Structure 1
Amino acid sequence: MPGTVYDPDTDDVVQAELAAAAREADLREAARIAARADELQALRELGTLEQTEPRDGDEAVRDELTRRAGGDVQSDVDAWLAHALAAHLGHYRDSAARQAAASLLSPPVLAHAALLAELARLVPGVAVD
C-alpha cells in the first residue's frame, strides 16, 4: 500500500523464517549437549572424568546426564563440577563463568565447591584436589 512503511515484525514470511532459524539453533544446541554428555559419560566409565576440564555449557550437560542415567552419574559429575569450580579449572578460570555457575548449578554443587575452596584456603599448601 502506498505511503505505508514496511514492518518485518508483521511480515508472516519473515516471522516464519525467524522461527525456523530459532528451532534449528535449538536443535544444534541439543545435539551439542547430547554429544558432550556422551563424551563425559564415556570418560566417567573409563575413570578419567577428573582428568578433563569443564567447558562452557557443561552445566546443561549435567542436567542431560542426570535425565539419562540418574543419581550415580549425577553425584560423580556434581563432584567433578564442584572440584573444577573450586579450583578454577576449565571455563571456570573466568570469573564471569564462576558467577554464572551460581544460577546454573544446584545448591549442593555450589556448597561442595565452597567447602573445597575454603578447605584449601584454611590449610596452606593443600590443593583443592
Structure 2
Amino acid sequence: MLAAAPSGTVYDPDTNDVVQAELAAEAAAAADREAAVREAQRIAARPAGRADELRALRELGTLERTEPRDGDEAVRDELTRRGGGYIQADVDAWLAHALAAHLGHYRDPAARESAARLLTPPVLAHAR
C-alpha cells in the first residue's frame, strides 16, 4: 500500500481496510464475549428469582395455572434446598403435570427429553 503511495505519504490505519476489518472483528468478538457473560449471569441469577416467583404463585394457589419455563428443573432444586419437602411435593406435581400435558417449554420434544435427564424418577413416573 505504501509502495504505491506518493512519496511522503503518511500511513493512516483508519484508511486501511484490512486493519479496519480486524478491528471490527475484534469488537464483534468482544461484544459476543460480553453478551455471553451477561447471559451466564442472568442464568445464574434466574433460579433464585424464579424460585421466589414460583413460591409466591404456590402460596397464591395459582402455580398449577403457570406454564413451566426452560430452567425450571434447576429452580425445583433451589426450592427444595430452600423450602424442603412441602414445597417440593407441589412443584414436583406441577412439573409432572406440565410434562405429561406438554405445557410451556415442554411443548418442545427436546425440552421433554432434557427433563427426563434432569427430573427425579418419581416426578417422571408421575408424568406418565
> TM-score scaled by structure 2?
0.69
Give the match for residue 120 of structure 2.
106
For residues 68 and 94 of structure 1, what CA distance do their matches in structure 2 show?
29
Deviation at 1:29, TM superposition (A): 1.9
- Once the two structures are superposed, the pairs formed by residues 32-71 of structure 1 within 5 Å of their partners are 32-71=46-85
Give the match for residue 92 of structure 2.
78
Deviation at 1:25, TM superposition (A): 5.3
Q: What's the secondary structure of 1:73's corresponding residue?
A: helix
For residues 22 and 93 of structure 1, what CA distance do their matches in structure 2 show?
26
Deviation at 1:99, TM superposition (A): 0.8
For residues 67 and 91 of structure 1, what CA distance do their matches in structure 2 show?
24
Deviation at 1:32, TM superposition (A): 1.2
Amino acid at match of 1:40: L
Number of aligned residues: 96
For residues 25 and 88 of structure 1, what CA distance do their matches in structure 2 show?
26
- Structure 2 unaligned blocks of 5 or more: 1-32
Q: What's the secondary structure of 1:38's corresponding residue?
A: helix
Q: Are 2:119 and 1:91 equivalent residues in the alignment?
A: no
For residues 22 and 90 of structure 1, what CA distance do their matches in structure 2 show?
25
> Matched residues, percent identical?
78
Q: What's the secondary structure of 1:75's corresponding residue?
A: helix
Amino acid at match of 1:106: T
Amino acid at match of 1:54: P
Q: What is the RMSD of the two structures over their aligned residues, measured on CA atoms? A: 1.8
Structure with greater Cα Rg: 2
- Structure 1 unaligned blocks of 5 or more: 1-17, 115-129
For residues 110 and 39 of structure 2, what CA distance do their matches in structure 1 show?
24
